[in-house]
Amino acid sequence: MSVRLAPSVLAADFTALGACVAAAERGGADMIHVDVMDGHFVPNLSVGPQVVKAVARAAKVPVDVHLMIQDPDRFVPAFAEAGASLISVHVEVLPHLHRTIAFIKSLGLKAGVVLNPSTPVGCLEEVATDVDFVLLMTVNPGFGGQTFIPRSASKIRAMRSLLDEAGNPVPIEVDGGIDEHTVGRVVAAGADWLVAGTSVFGSDDAEAATRRLRALAVAAAQERLASARGAR
């Protein structure tokens, strides 16, 4: 499975949002990630469908929307209409997770499920065959610029095993503390899609930062593939 880099505009300069998206794409961004926060499920407010619509107009790559909100079912159609290609929702707020996954898919989007750091992998066992991707938070959600939680690597491996055993080896996305020091570790553990905010848009050159991160991710993915082949 090919590795993908998804710079998060949460850390971008919103007075130059289109230019930030363009810089990340020149650096090789495969998706643009948008973090939507409601101030209830997480202790921060961020953006709504209008910003997603602006990002979708500026972007040439898919827009990956992460809903960190208490009532995602209510707002999924608005984000779909705004131009999202992928929407991920948190297992922690959804009593009827299977229904929400089906709802997102019915709108023609890829449906992902997100797990907070303290949420066990096993909570996805009953929907493991239904998801299009899984997003694992490698920091506590709500704010950018946090430090990667070291135990996340073992959680990535556990999620990879669960998905493989379910016969649905879909991508694992990771979000939180992803930079030049952690990218190799998460890819080696089994991550396929990488969200990076501060390490891209907090740098002096978002294009160069994207290019460096993506190169490191691709190299780590190649090493993972070679290791897997050698183990056979």
The catalytic residue among 35, 132, 179, 192 is 35
Amino acid (1-letter code) at residue 225 = L
- Could you give the CA distance from residue 15 to residue 147 in angstroms, rounded to a whole number? 26
Active site residue 35: yes
If DSSP states are collapsed to H, E and C, what string results for 90-128?
EHHHCCCHHHHHHHHHHCCCEEEEEECCCCCHHHHHHHC
What b/e readout covers 58-85, taking b as 16+ CB neighbours within 10 angstroms?
Answer: bbebbbbbbbbbeebbebbeebbebbbb
Active site residue 175: yes
Nearest residue to 109 (alpha-carbon basis) of 141, 67, 70, 138: 67
The catalytic residue among 30, 38, 175, 192 is 175
Q: Facing residues of 6 across strands? A: 195
- Provide the CB-side half-sphere exposure for 138 (13 A, CA): 34
> Phi and psi dihedrals of 184, rounded to 5?
-65, -35
Output DSSP code: residue 148. Answer: P
Q: Catalytic positions, please? A: 35, 175
